[in-house]
Amino acid sequence: MNPQTLSALALWGATTLYAIAMVAYSVRLAREADAKVAARARVSVGAASGDDVPAAEGGALPRSAAKALGIARSATLVGVILHGVGVAARGIEAGHVPWSTMYEYTISGSFVAVVLFLLIQRRRDVTFLGAGVTGLATVALGLALTVLYEAATGLQPALQSFWLVIHVSIATICAGIFGVAFLVSVLQLLRDSRDKASRTVSGRGFRFLDAVPAAPTLEALAFRLNAVGFVLWTFTVMAGAIWAEHAWGRYWGWDPKEIWSFVIWVVYASYLHARTTQGWAGRRSAYLAIAGFVALILNFTVVNFVFQGLHTYAGSGS
């Protein structure tokens, strides 16, 4: 089997497994939420009848929940291995690091997101993120394989640089980190709305929110991720400037790609400020973090396809 087929097969396999994991993680989350609601009901019933019912945290989970978690975990694990194989095989096929086209950037960035999730999972329980992360990875891989796919080619002279490896690899890692942080911020906002009994998220469909941690806990997790992402992004922008200085003889030229990298950086800086400011901490700063990730995605999609600039090789073809 040549690397090209191996890569495609492995990535399709990973996509399928992630999709399965996403479903299983969702089932698990729903069961957990059900159990919490049931436990709360038992407690209030118990209190009314004077019985001494222990308010077991989360209540007992049905066996199906444990089974769902087992399926989710193993599907993610096998999926991430296949994903890694797919990325590596692509690198071997292309003869350079696999992050020089949108296709390569997408498969590598989503790989980072899943690996990051598994790493965090080792240190603390973030099962509630599983559905989001594997869902994001499924969509990213699916889009990459169907829409963005491009055959591997050699690198142009301007891209043959040590700084390409540094600049783009860190940018890829940032995309993964900011992506997970984005999910956490979205959950934070939803959970916060639910706690405030907002009408939009009070329906059954949002019951899973009862199983995710409280908003302040989510905000703390999002901050840690965004903080790491921000430092790495700062470094990415600087490495890019050094590379531009070597390749084009100017470190900054307000090229569309550079403009958007700057916008992302400034938006996350305002997020970091907002976190510590009265009236901005909490919801408003979470909006800013989400805006930062949206800018990151725009930088990678719209900016590549629509705007012209020296970075056009990052777009598809030509």
312 DSSP 8-state letter: G
The contact pattern for another protein, residues 167-206, with x = CB under 8 A and - = no contact, is ----------------------------------------
Contacts of 108 (CB under 8 A, 6+ apart): 87, 98, 99, 172
Identify the three-state secondary structure at position 99: coil
CB 113 within 8 A of CB 137: yes
Structure tokens that stand for 210 in this block:
């009862």
Query: Least CB distance from residue 106 to another protein, whole Å?
Result: 21
Q: Among residues 50, 54, 203, 249, which is the contact residue for another protein, using CB under 8 A? A: 249
**Closer to another protein at the Cβ: 5 or 217?**
217
C-alpha distances in angstroms, 257 versus 254, 290, 300? 8, 20, 9
Q: Over 249-288, what HEC string results?
A: CCCCCCCHHHHHHHHHHHHHHHHHHHHCCCCCCCHHHHHH
Which residue type sits at 313?
A: Y
**Closer to another protein at the Cβ: 12 or 287?**
287
Structure tokens that stand for 302 in this block:
């719209």
**Per rule CB under 6 A, is residue 250 in the interface with ligand HEM?**
no
Binding-site partner at residue 249 among another protein, ligand HEM, none, CB < 5 to 8 Å by type: another protein
Using the contact rule CB under 6 A, the part of the chain among 19-27, 130-138, 239-247, 266-274 near ligand HEM is 266-274
**Per rule CB under 8 A, is residue 269 in the interface with another protein?**
yes
**Closer to ligand HEM at the Cβ: 280 or 287?**
280
Q: Among residue numbers 145 through 164, which ones bind another protein (CB under 8 A)?
A: 153-154, 156-158, 160-161, 163
C-alpha distances in angstroms, 310 versus 161, 252, 254, 280? 16, 12, 10, 38
Structure tokens that stand for 309 in this block:
């600039």
Binding-site partner at residue 221 among ligand HEM, another protein, none, CB < 5 to 8 Å by type: another protein
What is the rounded distance in angstroms from the CA atom of residue 243 to the CA atom of residue 112? 23
The contact pattern for another protein, residues 37-76, with x = CB under 8 A and - = no contact, is ----------------------------------------
Using the contact rule CB under 8 A, the part of the chain among 24-32, 41-49, 80-88, 267-275 near another protein is 267-275
Query: Least CB distance from residue 311 to another protein, whole Å?
Result: 11
CB atoms near residue 162 (< 10 Å): 11
What is the contact surface with ligand HEM in residues (CB under 6 A)?
269, 272-273, 276
